[in-house]
Amino acid sequence: MSLRDVSAALHRFPTLEPLNFHGLTQFLRMGCLARQTIAFQQVNNRRPPPVLPPAVLSTLATSLGVANTSLVQTCWAAFKELIWDHPEVSPRDDEIVVYNEAALANGTSFRHIFPPVRVCSDRSCSNHRDTDEIMTLTDPLSHKATLFTVKSGALPVYTSSLYCRKCNRRYYHNYSVHKQSSLRTYYGGVPSVIQVAQHFFIESALLELFANGMVFGWLSASNWARIYNCALAEPGSYIANNKLAFASVYQDHKTTRPEAWTLELRDRDVSNGFFLYSLLLEKSERSGILVLPHDEANQKDRLQPALAQRNKAMEGIGQEHWAHACDLCFIVFEDDDGNLMKIQSAHCDGDTIGHRCCKAHDCKTPLASNRRHFCPDHEHLTLKCAVIECSEDVETGHRTCSDPEHRALEKAYFGRGKALYQLRSRMKKVGVAVPSDSVPPGISDEDFDDEVIIESGRDGPVVVDCDGKPETGNRRLRAYFGARRTHNEQLIMRACGVILSRATFYGSEAVSAVNDFARATFPTPESTPEFFVFDNNCKLDAHQRAINDQHFSRTGKPVDVFHFNCKHKLSDQHCQLYCNPAAFPELIKNDGKWRFNTSTDGQIDAGG
């Protein structure tokens, strides 16, 4: 619309002639903010409606400070075409506050979250259309929600869904649910806003920020929630957090949050948002569609099957860079006969960044919550004595049975807790801050104590390393207390450091598990590397020979130089014969230097 068109509109509606330029531009901007809500209520979306819906009319009148709604309706009649075709506006913070206060009172909001479709997406349904100009979906349902954004902070919003009466499918912002399937079928691609809980949505841009903070800053979900609530939840957080420094403008930026909305980001929503965002990214990259159960009690349980499936894929050829090759890890050279030869090596190692798991050895069933020590399948073991191989029930209020020797181990374990309390008391006395919220409220130090092994010794019970082996001689009692963590994350990578695959090892870094993991990563003889570097290759090679596994028969298995010099005996003939890195001349260049960095795996571990 040109200025001539504006002039013509004012001529057609003489009651608007007193309207000044500021009032006109504000109406146009506020009208653009309401456009999506107006369109949602229109069956025919080709043209703007001649009359504004009552809720939108009231919202615009209040946000513009106009008592006479007929004036707003006249402005709409004059400029509706301009608003309908106008590009999306970027509102100022004060415009968002003013508009949203008015909209919330009328059952809508700034950035009201709607389904991305107005017609049924099932091509076999009679409600399907090639375009969404004429809406075929009906029965809208709306409820209050919170949208966490990067630029505008935490916004109180409304979200709505639509229903197809022909095929009984309800359409939400991110997914649709068929009445009889109880499955959430997500739309293709990655949406700009993701629903992480029934009443909480997070922008994908913010979830990308969370993901990068976790990767590069090692920030936990709880720390990200604290950072967001303190620094990003309101556009003027830097002023609100520094009242004295900004005393002259503090009152101007002071905001009142609506009581009916929860605008605080929770750590579980950060975690669930990160996982859901990652799953949607992975599906989009592979041109797939994410499908999750709809009727789960919480988002964590809903995501679990899809996460387990993805983790299983990462144990084999599912990593994005599985087929990686570069000049650092893919070597081509001439042999003595002038033939071109290629060498690729794979390096395997465990990274001890375990997470909570069931205390039953090598159990892979997830815990119901981090407060539990056993999964639902092994919950009955909570009532058994903590001493290994003791099948007696615990006594009330204890972790062991009535056996005095067993009780002595328990006393030693809880004695550690008293010592920790004394150390913290000393810190407080000298003025050192002791974190009071390092764990969620209501959870004691005992609940969050990692696994501790207490062993009976000559001079009384002693704490032993989780990987420690029982001393030779008389058999000693051992008891496990606290929560168990997975043993390690096992990695296979190229010499350049690019990770090919990852697997969670629950009980130990057993060579049988490493062999299965390696076979999953290199499933065909053609995919196996020329060299497989592993710090326990002598045991791995012996295991493969014992079970007659020929899968890696064409692969050399050297131990990396550091571990070979420090942790492998000269008297171990099998190790010296098959795993000494110097026994593989292809790994050594003409100048005597190694072709590959055999300690890549250790450097990756050190870097987190």
Classify residue 231 by its DSSP letter.
Answer: I
Is 93:100 a contact under the CB 8 Å cutoff? no
Q: Which two tokens stand for residue 91?
A: 């509102």
pLDDT of 459 over the 70 cut:
no
Per-residue confidence at 159, pLDDT binned at 50, 70, 90?
very high
Beta bridge partners, 344, equal 330
| Cα dist from 525 to 11, 243, 375, 442, whole Å | 82, 67, 38, 54
For tokens 């009692």, name the residue: 477
Classify residue 228 by its DSSP letter.
Answer: I
Per residue in 582-593, pLDDT (tens digit) is: 788 888 877 778
| Cα dist from 516 to 324, 346, 510, whole Å | 21, 15, 10
- Cα–Cα distance between 501 and 524 in angstroms, integer? 15
Amino acid at 203: E
Per-residue confidence at 250, pLDDT binned at 50, 70, 90?
confident
The bridge status of strand 452-455 relative to strand 462-464 is antiparallel
Per residue in 184-200, pLDDT (tens digit) is: 999 999 999 999 999 99
Of 5-14, 230-239, 292-301, 509-518, which gets the smallest average pLDDT?
Answer: 5-14
- Cα–Cα distance between 528 and 461 in angstroms, integer? 48
Can you give the pLDDT at residue 144?
97
As a dihedral over the C-alpha atoms of residue 418, residue 424, residue 427, residue 433, rounded to 10 degrees, the angle is -170
Can you give the pLDDT at residue 442?
43
3-state SS, one letter per residue, for 467-511: CCCCCCCCCCCEEEECECECCEEEEEEECCCCEEEEEEECCCCCH
- Cα–Cα distance between 360 and 380 in angstroms, integer? 11
Share of the chain above pLDDT 70, in %: 88
Is 179:172 a contact under the CB 8 Å cutoff? no
Q: Which two tokens stand for residue 447?
A: 């609940």
Per-residue confidence at 148, pLDDT binned at 50, 70, 90?
very high
Can you give the pLDDT at residue 380?
94
Find the length of the chain. 608
Of 155 and 241, the structure prediction assigns the larger pLDDT to 155
300-327: average pLDDT:
91
Is 500:319 a contact under the CB 8 Å cutoff? yes
465-494: average pLDDT:
75
- What are residue 356's phi and psi, to 5 degrees? -60, 140
Per-residue confidence at 439, pLDDT binned at 50, 70, 90?
very low
Residues 6+ apart with CB under 8 A from 111: 147, 155, 157
Nearest residue to 10 (alpha-carbon basis) of 73, 79, 96, 110: 79
Cα 276 from chain centroid? 6
What are the strands, taking DSSP E only, across 149-230? 154-164, 169-171, 175-178, 183-186, 193-197, 200-203
Can you give the pLDDT at residue 591?
79
Classify residue 583 by its DSSP letter.
Answer: G
Per residue in 319-363, pLDDT (tens digit) is: 989 999 999 899 988 888 889 989 999 999 998 888 899 999 889
First to last CA, the chain: 57
Which contacts of 470-476 are long-range, i.e. CB under 8 A and separated by 24 or more positions? none
54-64 vs 93-104: helix axis angle to the nearest 10? Answer: 140
Tell me the pTM: 0.81
Per-residue confidence at 478, pLDDT binned at 50, 70, 90?
confident
422-438: average pLDDT:
54
In degrees, rounded to 5, the angle at the alpha carbon of residue 39 between the alpha carbons of residues 36 and 43 is 160
68-94: average pLDDT:
92
In degrees, rounded to 5, the angle at the alpha carbon of residue 142 between the alpha carbons of residues 137 and 146 is 130
Is 146:199 a contact under the CB 8 Å cutoff? yes
Of 309-323, 376-390, 450-464, which gets the smallest average pLDDT?
Answer: 450-464
Can you give the pLDDT at residue 91?
95
Per residue in 561-606, pLDDT (tens digit) is: 777 767 677 777 788 888 888 788 888 877 778 887 766 655 555 5
Domain ranges of the chain: 1-110, 112-314, 321-354+487-606, 387-431+446-476
Can you give the pLDDT at residue 150?
97
123-137: average pLDDT:
95
pLDDT of 208 over the 90 cut:
yes
Is 3:62 a contact under the CB 8 Å cutoff? no
Can you give the pLDDT at residue 427?
60
151-165: average pLDDT:
97
311-322: average pLDDT:
90
Please name the helix (run of DSSP H) or strand (run of DSSP E) that holds residue 303, with its range, or none.
helix 299-314
Can you give the pLDDT at residue 204?
98
Residues 6+ apart with CB under 8 A from 392: 384, 385, 401, 402, 403
Amino acid at 584: F
Average pLDDT across the chain, whole number: 87
pLDDT of 247 over the 60 cut:
yes
pLDDT of 381 over the 60 cut:
yes
- What are residue 332's phi and psi, to 5 degrees? -115, 130
**Alpha-carbon torsion 390, 393, 396, 402, what sign?**
negative
Beta bridge partners, 490, equal 350, 503
Per-residue confidence at 382, pLDDT binned at 50, 70, 90?
very high
- Cα–Cα distance between 226 and 231 in angstroms, integer? 8
What are the strands, taking DSSP E only, across 92-192? 138-148, 154-164, 169-171, 175-178, 183-186
In degrees, rounded to 5, the angle at the alpha carbon of residue 455 between the alpha carbons of residues 453 and 457 is 155
Per-residue confidence at 293, pLDDT binned at 50, 70, 90?
very high
pLDDT of 126 over the 90 cut:
yes
